[in-house]
A = this chain, B = another copy of it.
Amino acid sequence: MSAEIICVGTELLLGDILNSNARFLAGELASLGIPHYFQTVVGDNPQRIQQVLQVARDRGSQLLIFTGGLGPTPDDLTHETLAQFFGVSLVEKPEILEDIAAKYAARGRKMAPSNRKQALIPAGADILPNRAGTAPGIIWQPEPGLTLLTFPGVPGEMHRMWQETAVPYLKEHGWGREIIYSRVLKFWGISESELAEKVSRFFEQSHPTVAPYASNGEVKLRLSARARSPQEAQSAIAPVIEQIKAIAGSDCFGSDEDTLASVVGRLLLESGQTIAVAESCTGGGLGQLITAVAGSSSYFMGGVISYDNQVKIGLLGVDPAVLAREGAVSATVAEQMARGVRDRLGTDWGVSITGIAGPGGGSEAKPVGLVYIGLAGSDGSADSFKYQFGALRDRDLIRHFSACCALDRLRRKLLR
Chain A residues close to B by CB (< 8 Å): 9-20, 22-30, 36-45, 48, 51-52, 55, 59, 71-75, 106-108, 112-115, 131-132, 134, 154, 156, 182, 184, 191-194, 196-197, 200, 203, 211-216, 222, 224, 277, 279, 281-288, 290-292, 294-297, 300-308, 310-311, 314-315, 344-346, 357-360, 388, 390, 392-397, 399
Given the complex of chains A and B, what is the CA–CA distance between A37 and B296 in angstroms? Answer: 46
In contact, B107 and A388 (Cβ under 8 angstroms): yes
> Min CB distance, A26 to chain B, in Å?
3
Counting every copy of the chain, the complex holds 2
**Is A300 a contact of B291 with CB atoms below 8 Å?**
no
Chain B residue contacts of A154, Cβ below 8 A: 214-215
Main secondary structure of the interface of A (DSSP, over half): mixed
Interface centre among A10, A19, A399, by most chain B C-beta atoms within 10 angstroms, is A19
Known A12-B39, A39-B13, A40-B40: A306·B302 in contact at CB below 8 Å: yes
For A357, list chain B residues within 8 Å (CB). Answer: 291
Which residues of B sit under 8 angstroms from A211, Cβ to Cβ? Answer: 10-11, 16, 44, 75
Question: Are B284 and A16 in contact, with the CB atoms below 8 A?
Answer: no
Q: Which residues on B sit within 8 Å (CB–CB) of A20?
A: 18
B-chain residues with CB within 8 Å of residue A11 when the two chains form the complex = 211, 213, 222
Residues of B within 8 A of A214 (CB): 71, 154
Partner of A112, one of B15, B191, B306, B388: B191
- Chain B residues lying within 8 Å of A196, measured Cβ to Cβ, are 72-74, 112, 114
Given A40-B40, A156-B397, A303-B305, 10 more pairs with CB closer than 8 A: A11-B213, A73-B193, A112-B196, A114-B200, A283-B296, A291-B357, A294-B360, A297-B307, A301-B308, A301-B310
Listed by A's residue number, 13 A-B pairs whose Cβ atoms lie within 8 Å are A12-B22, A15-B24, A15-B30, A16-B222, A38-B52, A44-B211, A73-B192, A108-B388, A115-B193, A279-B284, A281-B291, A297-B307, A304-B305
